[in-house]
Amino acid sequence: MTQEVRAAGAVLWRGCGKATEVALVHRPRYDDWSLPKGKLDPGETTAEAAVREVKEETGFDAVLGRYLARTAYPVPTRNGSGTVPKTVDYFSAEAVSGVFAANDEVDELRWLDPTAAEKLLTRPEDVRVLRAFCEVPAGLTTLVLVRHAKAGKRDEWTGDDDLRPLSDAGLRQASALRRVLALYGPDRVLSAPRLRCVQTVQRVADDLGIEVRHEPLLSEEGYWPDPVLGVARLLAIAGDGGTPVVCSQGGVIPDLVSALADRDGVDLPAARGGVVPSKKGSFWVLSFRAPTTEDGPVLLAADYHPSALPTPSPTRS
């Protein structure tokens, strides 16, 4: 039985005046120019691996944005008897600090505009990833919309349902979310006023030294009397800028994401049979164009991550 080789990487970018530059690395072992990437460590998610590999190969700390693409190609086995499939998941990642120093894997880094970078890249699959990055502007507002983690069964809970806590499995999901959501650089945390929702993102807020702010319009009871108000509230949160994390419920998220996608003409390939997924402990990365004086925030991309635990890659929308 062949074992798939899993890897992750990023289009690392920075603003340069009004322009955008991306980082390419030269690997002397292969004598090629590529996007920074590398194999997943045991127990690592693709998002964690992408940030770690960017740091190791380029020296830069990065904040993740939208998911870009997956590439797949065969690589030789260790014993040279054949090949095994290799997949690489790529994210957009903004460089926030750091400096390059030559290392065992990379001896040169170049910051280039995307057109020049495309000409320098060695592999066609990297060109495809770069083009996916260029489909929308780089400097977007990221809003991470989280479905609360697993709680005890409703029919086995005798108290107020608002106070139903996370189960042991849910606490494990919340711990994984704490690690992965930090990679997106959150600056505030909001939640439907349900204990299970607040518990799901409480440790994210703790790490930031802030309180979880309650959002009644994003609970099932608050959303459905007037969904338009709920959509408007999420847009107002996105319009405030920064990188908010918002935790809501399974009865809200599918309709909310569908409404935003319909409003702004974003396809949702993650939705199968017209059903927008929202598993417990999953999250959507919603990428908005910053509001202007004429318009509010506009959704440009929506990526579904079915789990913060090590899982298959997210579905790009």
| 285 in the same domain as 155 | yes
Per-residue model confidence (pLDDT) at position 313: 54
CA–CA distance, 216 with 222 (Å, rounded to integer): 5
| 288 in the same domain as 208 | yes
207 falls within a domain: yes
Domain carrying residue 214: 141-305
Confidence of residue 312 (pLDDT cuts 50, 70, 90): low
176 falls within a domain: yes
Confidence of residue 201 (pLDDT cuts 50, 70, 90): very high
Helix, strand, coil percentages for the chain (3-state, nearest 5): 30, 30, 35
Coil, helix or strand at residue 83:
strand
Q: Which residue, 219, 174, 167, is CA-closest to 193?
A: 219
Identify the H or E element spanning 228.
helix 227-239
Number of domains in the chain: 2
315 falls within a domain: no
229 falls within a domain: yes
| 253 in the same domain as 159 | yes
Q: Give the up-direction half-sphere exposure of residue 205: CA atoms within 13 A in the CB hemisphere.
A: 18
Please calculate the CA angle 229-300-274 and round it to the nearest 5 degrees: 70
| 106 in the same domain as 249 | no
| 291 in the same domain as 172 | yes
118 falls within a domain: yes
**What CATH number is given to the structural domain containing 53?**
3.90.79.10
Do 200 and 212 form a contact (C-beta atoms < 8 A)?
A: no
Per-residue model confidence (pLDDT) at position 177: 98
Q: Which residue, 153, 166, 150, is CA-closest to 279?
A: 150
On the question of pLDDT at 159 being above 80, the answer is no
Per-residue model confidence (pLDDT) at position 74: 86
Record the pTM. 0.94
Quick: pLDDT tens for 54-110: 999 999 999 999 999 999 988 888 777 788 899 999 999 999 999 999 999 999 999
Quick: pLDDT tens for 127-138: 999 999 999 999
Do 131 and 34 form a contact (C-beta atoms < 8 A)?
A: no
Q: Which residue, 159, 108, 90, is CA-closest to 313?
A: 90
For the chain, the C-alpha Rg in angstroms (whole number) is 20
| 173 in the same domain as 118 | no
Per-residue model confidence (pLDDT) at position 250: 96
Interhelix angle for 227-239 vs 253-264, to 10°?
70
Calculate the CA dihedral of residues 10, 25, 13, 265 and round it to 10 degrees: -50
Cα-to-chain-centroid distance, residue 82: 34
Coil, helix or strand at residue 125:
helix
Per-residue model confidence (pLDDT) at position 48: 98
| 121 in the same domain as 146 | no
312 falls within a domain: no
218 falls within a domain: yes
| 109 in the same domain as 252 | no
311 falls within a domain: no
| 246 in the same domain as 159 | yes
| Mean pLDDT for all residues in the chain | 93
Determine how many CB atoms are found less than 10 A away from the CB of residue 246: 28
Per-residue model confidence (pLDDT) at position 314: 58
On the question of pLDDT at 316 being above 60, the answer is no
